[in-house]
Amino acid sequence: MRGEGAPAQPGEISGGGSGASGAVPPPREGSGGGVPKRRGRRRVLRWVSSVLSFLILATAAGGYLYYRHLNGSIKTDVLNLGENKLGGSKPNAFGQTPLNILLIGSDARDDAANQALGGAKDTFDGPPLADVQMLLHLSADRSNMSVVSMPRDTMLMMPKCTEPGGKVHQASKGLVQTNESLGRGGPGCTVAAWTELTRIPIDHFMMIDFKGVVTMADAIGGVPVCVQQNVESRTRDGKGSGLKLPAGTSTIQGEQALQWLRTRYGFEDGTDLGRTHAQHMYMNSMAREFRKNAKLSNPVKLNSLAQAAIKAMVVDPGLNKIDKLYDLSMELKKVPTGRITMTTMPWVYSTREEGRVEPKPVEAEALFRMVREDIALDGKGSGTPNPDGTPASPAASTAPAAPSQPAADPAAPPAKIAVSVRNATGGKDGAQVRVKGRADEVAAILVGKGFTKAQSTQQTGAEDATVVRFSTPGQAGDAAAVATALGLPATAVEKSDEVTGIVLFVGKDWRSGNAPTPPPPAPTKAPDSARPLNGDDDKECMAVQPGFTW
């Protein structure tokens, strides 16, 4: 593990990591300030850009030149370098659109500041690792927010990633540690890996490095954290974050905040899974502090926050303007801290890679499904009930930060839709042998439903769930018609650069019969194995690992 300047030890697990710090908390309420009509671009620039733990609330009365200066300072990178592009979050029945933002903490040691903070001289100028990966899901009705962390030592099959310059990183033939995705072309490959694993459409990403964390923490001010005993994160051979705190509650900021977010040795069992829990506690505490404190009205302070935020982050092109970040901040601001739920992807120790973890069957997918289907992880449902106990009527959300949805593509008559059918019944893990002749059988089912141009192919695939992929926007309606005819959900239709035309992949869920096995009812609350932590929980206090007290 590189999070604290030391390689992973046999049997250790890592899961949050060096860049943990990457997270920025949701905005606080009551930021105030109207905008005079005649001021134009000289309006107050007030925005909150969230990587959930660090609230960035910035108001800078500047002018057109200052506005341009801030916009020109925003660093961007490609959103998705993979072949599987789900097309952004889809509106619900009320026209409201959820938002999914991948928060990435990079352990890059590519300059003097990051090298001084990150340590581990043997990694200087090496490929960066995505040591913190958190998916922030903002519900369509803006009533709740969910965060799912993935342990950085999670072993996955990496997708093919193509850099803008044409360099290709081929799909892995075996398991690869998830944090290596960042070195396969940048944050766009980390997004692609999440998309491939979870089938959750990711709308944006935000990435931060070591020095960005310290800069942001200094600009924001202190946040209270708690440890059950005196703690010092330092081993006899010099490993550890260097964090030293007395028992009870302390207020930390700057480099000490980075130490807290990076601490593995000294927390709980000394693994990165404990570190992830500490990160969640910090993020929730930060959100509570900004919600309860008075308004930030000092323009110098707010200006420093704005500049610190911009210098600290790399974002996708969809967030490349101050206005876009401001609009996003206003959406995040709508969620009360009591409806924020922090979780960690359910995991099991890998039997194939010692000391590493893999997604826990059933429970990890249940958590991903809740995010895909916009189900609140806290079990409280959507919206706030009316005083008489009846469900609240959802108000249409206007989230400018969400990608616009194209108009529905009308479908051609079934007899004119060409469909290739591939046998993918072995599943992604290859644990089962593909059912012989299954592509032929399903192609015949399609022909019987009027899709007379459906044909099986010798090409195969590996899918847990049956999916219909199409290659061009003009085929979206036709692909949806195929899915509807087979009783597949809308989420089973995906745009992909890896296919030509419309291709039906018959997955492990449809090894026999005339229709895929319907999924079980969706869960209504995050599984306990995800270790859910509510944003209003101010009683959490980190357990200290034996041998790291003073």
Report the pLDDT value the prediction gives residue 495, as an integer from 0 to 100. 86
SS3 (DSSP) at 422: strand
DSSP strand pairing (533-534 vs 340-344) = antiparallel
Residues 6+ apart with CB under 8 A from 355: 8, 9, 10, 11, 12, 13, 153
Q: What is the DSSP annotation of 53-64?
A: SS--EEEE---H
- Provide the mean pLDDT of the chain: 80
Q: Which residue has the higher pLDDT, 153 or 191?
A: 191
- pLDDT per position as a tens digit, 526-547: 999 999 999 999 999 999 999 9
Model confidence at 292, pLDDT cuts 50, 70, 90, reads low
Q: E strands, 190-308, where?
A: 204-208, 223-227, 231-232, 244-245, 248-252
Distance CA 129, CA 510 (A): 37
Neighbours of 458 (CB within 10 A): 7
User: Distance of CA 127 to CAs 108, 192, 245, 338, 374, Å?
Assistant: 7, 18, 32, 38, 35
Question: With contact defined as beta carbons under 8 Å apart, do 319 and 206 qualify?
Answer: yes
> Each residue of 326-373: pLDDT tens digit?
888 788 888 999 999 999 999 999 999 998 999 999 999 999 999 999
What is this structure's pTM?
A: 0.72
Q: Which residue has the higher pLDDT, 150 or 73?
A: 150
The domains of the chain, with CATH numbers, are 22-381 (3.40.630.190), 414-510 (3.30.70.2390)
Kindly report, residue by residue over 89-108, the tens digit of the pLDDT: 888 878 899 999 999 988 75
pLDDT at 150 over 60: yes
Please compute the mean of the pLDDT values over residues 116-126 and round it to a whole number: 48
User: What pLDDT score does 275 carry?
Assistant: 87
**Biggest CA-to-CA distance, the chain:** 76
Rounded to 5 degrees, what angle do the CA atoms 68, 73, 74 make?
Answer: 105
